[in-house]
Structure formats: structure tokens, C-alpha cells
Copies of this chain bind each other. A is one copy, B any other.
Amino acid sequence: MSIPDSNRLERLSGMLKRRGIILPAFEIHGGSKGLYDFGPVGGRLRNRVNQNWIDHWTSMGNITEISCPTVTPFEVLEASGHVGEFSDFMVDCIACGEASRADTLLEDFHSNPDALSKSDLQELFSKHNPKCPSCDSSDWSDITAQNLMFNTTIGAGKSGRQGFLRPETAQGMFTSFQTLYRHNRERLPFGAIQVGKGYRNEISPRQGMIRLREFNMAELEYFIDPEEDSNHDFSKWNISLFKLIPEDGKEISISLEKAVNNGIIRDSTVGFFMGLTYDFLIKVGINPDKLRFRQHESDEMAHYAMDCWDVEIHGSYGWVECVGIAHRGCYDLEAHEKYTGKTLRARREFSEPRNIDIDHWTIDGSVAGPAFRSLAGAVKSAVENLSIDTEFPCHIQLDSGESVTVEPQHIKRNQRTEVVTGEWFIPHVVEPAFGIDRIIWHILDHAYDEVSKGDDLYTVLRLNQSIAPVDYCVFPLFEKDGMGEIAKSINTNLCSKLGIISMYDSSGSIGRRYARADEIGVPFCITVDHQSLEDNTVTLRDRDTGQQKRVSIDSL
């Protein structure tokens, strides 16, 4: 029987810490808010979730993994808009010096303070003058916008340049577009994925793994031609209804295909990735009943986004956004193109060649060349931009600021029909972005099962086998009579198999050892007993059913 309880979160966090799954980092040095360790059990859980995520996408055949630096030059994040806009509003307590987010302090006085402008926040703040959560004083600095990127300097001395720790992995994929396009033999659609650290220098982190200063994230950028039909097949999701909260806020249960066809999901590629995201989350152990998709309202969505859905997962902290699936249009590539002057485009061939009429002025090189010498190139560009109605002689100003007079003998009219077979365009991007730590938190939260055994609370972590951090535990009933040797040898053999982790445990009763294994979600326990000495068999116990069967050692 499962026991609902208000202290469940505390017991779960305690277990995660005690058993080396997830724990506050650098604790012997006093710790540091918003920084967590994956311990000797959690380390492999994290790795397996990451690898599952990578395999999930690369199995599509047109998605490849890349890996870019976390230290990022100023220019990249200025181009992306993060230098200007990636900030929260902060207030400093004058009494104790503690910094707080202004919107968080106003949660009791407004339904959505996160959406307020700086001046509206300041007005509300002055009206209610909340207390400092750290010292209870109400003496505050003015509200300031605080950029949330970790700042650093690349290089030393006078040649040092400003840089940041990346706030997301996405920018490295946009700046790699040309390489990706070449790798994919210049054919859309294709995707790039990246798994790695992201950083957000939160003003005041709370809620454990939900709001971290350094986090594990995994993003996919899927580049598409907006004029090409996507033709996604939704039929495999028709067996289940998806819980959606469209922009109007009213939850519905509907098949994915219907939601796309009805226009509730505005773009079919977004819908397709909602389906694939659902598949991934179920595969790693998220409870499908605790998962819903929420559409961003238009004032919540970035101005360039064409549609955006969050995957929210329910757990000890309520509904938490764990994945965002956004149609970002051509915003990102265009931003880097404008900033750098480099071309970040794909080519689209027309189904039939098109005739394009060309009619403009250009220079007659044999006359204009000697006349304008080193300026001839600039004159040519300027002349070719003149209206066909221009009369010569004509004074024109070059980009360099100089003025020249163009005489009739310098020019000629270029009038012809050209056959064009295609055009260059900026691809659109659909971006599913996953917060791996939040997903791992909810995997653990959903798997954590407390059952009463007599007067005791017995806990089992019902993790899926594909992500369980320890695959087997091997116990000798006693260490004497050679049982210890056999158990150790089974353990060594299991560990030597690729991708298998086994632990040897010989202390305490078998019941206690089962309990220790169940607590960290080991799917199978193997016990070596007296019979093993006689017939080379062991008992294999299943975590979830508790059932034991005797199997030959050689079959393990």
C-alpha cells in the first residue's frame, strides 16, 4: 500500500543524499546554492538518461550529435540577444546585503509578477514593501535588471576579452550551421543535438534540482524548409490521448493527429516532436498520467516564435516545466547572419526553372575603368543600384563618402532574361529543449514508492531497467564455505560485460541487503547459497514482483 504523506519530499531528498544519488555539491566547504552533485549512484543514472536521449534522436537518421564549448565569446551572445535580454529584476537588502528576485517577493500580491515591467514591479514593490526573506528587514535598494549569465574573461591582461558561460547549448548549433548543412549534403530537413552543461546565475536559487545555477541540458535544433510539406506520420500516437492545455487555458484530451489537424498545435513539425518527446519521457520512466503539454500564451512567447509548447511534469513541486518545444522561425540564423555578415542559408530548387527579367544600368568597363581607377568597383555597385529612370550625367555618392560624376559614356544598359533554378533562404528551426536535471528529478519522484511493511516504511525505487544505475546486486548468503568466492566471481563477470554494473554486498541479513538494493532501484538481486555449492545455481529476485527463481550461474 502506498502512503501519501506531506513529508514525502523530505524523505525522498534525504534518501537521494544518503544513497549518493543527488546531493548538494561542495558540502564540506559549506555548499553553494544551486549547485548539485550526481553521486556514485546518480552519476550513472545521469549518463544513462543522456545516452538514451541521444539514441532516441540519432535513430531518426538525419540528426547528429555535436559538442561546442561552454565558454562563449561576448559577440555570440550579443548576436543571439542574451546580452541584452537574458535578465531578472533584482533588489538588494540594504540591511543584510542578500539579493532577491523582485517578482518572487511579490508573489503574494500579484498573480503573475514575473510578467510585469520594471516600472510596474517597482510601483507594486514600493506599495507593499515586502520583508527580506533572509533578515526580515524592509529596507531595499531600487530594482535593477540583472543579467543571468555567468561572466568571465577569456585570455589574460590587455588581450583578455569578455565572455560568458553559455545559458543554453543552442547557440553553438546555430553558429555551426554551415558545417551541419555541408555534412547533411545540403538537404533539409536535418537536426543537430547537443547534451551538456548550461548556466544561469540565478539571483536566489530555490527548490533543489528544479532551479539550478549549473544544469544538464539537451537540445535539438531541427532545420526545415518552411515551404516544404512535412508529411509527418502521426498514426503511431493514435492509441493514446494527449493532455493539452491550449492558449485558452482549458485542458483537453485529444489525439495528437487531431490537435494538429484542428490547428490547436499550429505547426505539424512541432506536433511531431511533441509525440517523440512524449515517447522519450515514457521510455525513461515518467508517469504518463503526470505529464501534460501547455501552450504558451502569445504574451509569454518570444515575439518571433510561431508556436511553443511546454511539457509540464507533476511531482513534489507541483507542475514543473521540463521541456520546451518551440517553433522559432528563422530568428536565430537571421540574427547571426545580420551580426556577422556570413551566409547561413539553404538552397531551395524550384520545381521548374523560372525566367527572371533583368534590366538595370551598369558601367562600361573599358571607359569607366580608366576614368574611376580604384573607385571603379564602388561606382559599379552604386550604378547598378540606380533606378532605370536615372538620367546621366549624374552625381552619386559612394559608400566611402566620396562623390563622383557619372557621364553617359561610362555606362551601358544591361537588359536580358535569366533562367533561375532555385534560391537561397534562411531555414526555420523547431527546437525541443530538455532540462535533464528536472527530468531526472521527476523520474526519481515518480519511481519512489513507499510501502508499509509491518510498522516500517519500506521504499522501492521503481526505475526502468534501461536507466537503472545498478543492474545487479550479488549477495553471498554467508561469506564462508566458498559462497563469498562464488558471489565475487559472479559480480566480477557481470561487471566485465559491456554496459552492466553490478555490486557485491555481504553485510547484514539478506532481507536488509534486498532493502538496500530496492532503495536505489536495482532491478535484480542474485543470492549465492548452500545449494549453489552443489548445483551451480543461484536465486534471481525481481525487484518489482519480489519473485525469486533459481537459475544456472552460466545463464546470467
Contact = CB atoms under 8 A, between A and B. Distances in A.
Contacts of A342: 28
Interface stretch (A61-69, A226-234, A363-371): A61-69
Contact of A61 (B180, B184, B214, B492): B492
A332 B447 CA distance: 37
Contact of A40 (B72, B179, B336): B179
Contact of A71 (B35, B38, B67): B35
B64 A25 contact: no
Number of copies: 2
A156 B90 contact: yes
A192 to B, nearest CB: 7
Contacts of A159: 92, 97-99
A358 B498 CA distance: 54
Nearest to A501: B58
B155 A152 contact: no
Contacts of A68: 25, 37-38
Interface stretch (A170-178, A409-417, A478-486): A170-178
Contacts of A33: 155
Given A44-B64, A61-B491, A37 B172 contact: yes
Contacts of A182: 18, 20
Interface string A2-16: 000000000000000
A184 to B, nearest CB: 8
A201 B154 contact: yes
A306 to B, nearest CB: 25
6 contacts: A27-B175, A40-B183, A71-B165, A97-B158, A155-B201, A155-B203
Given A43-B194, A60-B495, 19 more contacts: A19-B183, A28-B340, A29-B336, A37-B66, A37-B68, A37-B69, A37-B179, A39-B176, A39-B180, A40-B183, A43-B67, A44-B58, A59-B497, A70-B214, A71-B213, A98-B158, A157-B203, A185-B507, A196-B197
